[in-house]
Amino acid sequence: MTRAERALDRIHSGVAPSRDEAVSLLGVSDARLPELLGAASAVRDRGRGRRITFSKKVFVPLTTLCRDYCGYCTFRRDPGEPGAHTLTPEEVIALVQAGARLGAKEALFSLGDRPEALFPEHRAFLRVMGHRTTLGYLRQICELVLKESPLLPHANPGLMGERDLARLREVNVSMGLMLETTSERLLRPAMAHHRAPDKVPTRRLRTLALAGKLQIPFTTGILIGIGETLEERVDSLFAIKDLHERFGHIQEVIVQNFRAKPRIPMAHHPEPSAGEMLRTVAVARLCLGGSVNVQAPPNLAGDLYPALLHAGLNDWGGISPLTVDHINPEAPWPLIGALRRATEAAGFELRERLAIYPEYASRPEFLAEGLRPRVQALLDGDGCVRTDYERWRQW
Ligand code: SF4
């Protein structure tokens, strides 16, 4: 009997995998893969039932400038490059109001990390806007979105200190930072994070812990296939599990797969296979347990995406009715109708959630007081978006 087979036997008797068992499960044979997926699905069904959620969002790329140079990134730009841009308040408002007219509830802010540390042009832009930091500008913009639209901000601005987190908490219903990996090795020359000072794992873990201390519902996850070993992948999942056990604030864990794209330094790096993605989602579910929300973006899985339902996920993430995925612009979102049909055909119910998950929306300590009435007005008894929200469309 192989180590993976022994691990499967233990999981069937209700035991969560150890680190070494999780590593072996990532290498389970094709013949035993259905068993792994079945075990992960059973844990999901016991913890989360047969409901799959998604959030209707507008993607707001506040600035494409970034001081890091991750080897897989197609989003970042230097000043002067085509596509280098920082959105003005007017541009953001036009975007979120258009999204609101299409029924979006979430304004997902994605932006480069600390561009002001590298680019004088960006410092000059911020000065004109009355700020010294991008995070200060972001806070002002989130406040404006709340004032000028019905959307609820969810910001992913990179590393943050305690003060910035506390200030952003007042104007965000949840926030996020992908851990990506705990591998220090990937900081070495020619590796994915060589020129990315904000991808030092201890610094990312610190932001995640501070968010926990401040009781911010937090999104994080792993990025697979960027050069990490299977052991490092499992270590990253266990680091997230540890944070959640300490603070209880990890509202969702994303398993995101690397995609090769023409203009990135890792253009010729192999992408994780469909089987690898299925194994990783299943192992994430088994390591994290049944109650944690596990998500994989359907637009990065091609035709495979309905199969991910059988690996134990319970959320499809944010789906935009308006904007492209600026991080993966080559990968279109599935239409919500198609997503619903595929989800229901596999025997699940699809429900819309807010950027704050139901179990956090019902706990006042996880949401700034000023945001609670807006959140509650949108929810039904299950904590999902009520279906009679016509008034939103009239904004
Ligand atoms: S992945 Fe994020 S931190 Fe890395 S270069 Fe792209 S925008 Fe910057």
- From the CB of 111, is ligand 1 less than 6 Å away? no
Whole-number pLDDT of residue 390: 52
Region 351-371: mean pLDDT is 97
Ligand 1: centre distance to CA 77 (Å): 9
Q: Note the pTM of the prediction, 2 decimals.
A: 0.95
- From the CB of 67, is ligand 1 less than 6 Å away? no
- From the CB of 196, is ligand 1 less than 6 Å away? yes
Ligand 1: centre distance to CA 73 (Å): 6
Res 394 pLDDT > 50: no
Ligand 1: centre distance to CA 69 (Å): 6
Q: How confident is residue 379, by pLDDT bands cut at 50, 70 and 90?
A: very high
**Helices 19-26 and 274-288 meet at what angle, rounded to 10?**
160
pLDDT tens, residue by residue, 150-159: 999 999 999 9
For residue 11, what are the contacts with CB-CB under 8 A and spacing of at least 6?
Answer: 17, 39, 286
**Which residue out of 68, 122, 181 has the highest number of ligand 1 atoms within 8 Å of its CB and is therefore the one to mutate?**
68
pLDDT tens, residue by residue, 162-203: 999 999 999 999 999 999 999 999 999 999 999 999 999 999
- Among 135-144, 311-320, 327-336, the least confident range: 327-336
Residue pair 294/288 in contact (Cβ under 8 Å)? The answer is yes
Whole-number pLDDT of residue 323: 64
Whole-number pLDDT of residue 328: 64
- From the CB of 112, is ligand 1 less than 6 Å away? yes
Res 63 pLDDT > 60: yes
1 vs 393, which has greater pLDDT?
1
- From the CB of 114, is ligand 1 less than 6 Å away? no
Residue 302, number of CB atoms within 10 A of its CB: 10
pLDDT tens, residue by residue, 217-255: 999 999 999 999 999 999 999 999 999 999 999 999 999
Whole-number pLDDT of residue 72: 97
Ligand 1: centre distance to CA 85 (Å): 15
Ligand 1: centre distance to CA 68 (Å): 6
- From the CB of 180, is ligand 1 less than 6 Å away? no
Q: Helix, strand, or coil here: 215?
A: coil
- From the CB of 76, is ligand 1 less than 6 Å away? yes
For residue 370, what are the contacts with CB-CB under 8 A and spacing of at least 6?
Answer: 170
Q: Which neighbouring-strand residues pair with 250?
A: 218
Residue pair 388/381 in contact (Cβ under 8 Å)? The answer is no
> What's the burial of 332, exposed, middle or buried (CB within 10 Å: 0-12/13-18/19+)?
exposed
Ligand 1: centre distance to CA 196 (Å): 8
> What's the burial of 128, exposed, middle or buried (CB within 10 Å: 0-12/13-18/19+)?
exposed
Alpha carbon separation from 79 to 63, 64, 118 (Å, rounded)? 11, 9, 10
Alpha carbon separation from 275 to 32, 45, 252, 282 (Å, rounded)? 12, 21, 22, 11
Whole-number pLDDT of residue 335: 77
pLDDT tens, residue by residue, 300-319: 677 778 889 999 999 999 98
Averaged confidence pLDDT in the chain: 94
- From the CB of 352, is ligand 1 less than 6 Å away? no
Q: Among the atoms of ligand 1, which is closest to the Cα of residue 73?
A: 6
Res 330 pLDDT > 70: no
Ligand 1: centre distance to CA 72 (Å): 8
Res 272 pLDDT > 80: yes
198-237: b or e for each residue (b if 16 or more CB lie within 10 Å)?
A: bbebeebbebbbbbbebbbbbbbbbbbbbbbebebbbbbb
Could you tell me what percent of the chain has a pLDDT over 70? 95
C-alpha–C-alpha distance, residues 48 and 96, integer Å: 31
159 vs 6, which has greater pLDDT?
159
C-alpha–C-alpha distance, residues 26 and 30, integer Å: 11
Whole-number pLDDT of residue 329: 62
Which CATH number applies to 3-8+18-53+156-387?
3.20.20.70
Region 42-64: mean pLDDT is 96
Ligand 1: centre distance to CA 198 (Å): 9
Q: Among the atoms of ligand 1, which is closest to the Cα of residue 110?
A: 7
4 vs 116, which has greater pLDDT?
116
Ligand 1: centre distance to CA 3 (Å): 37
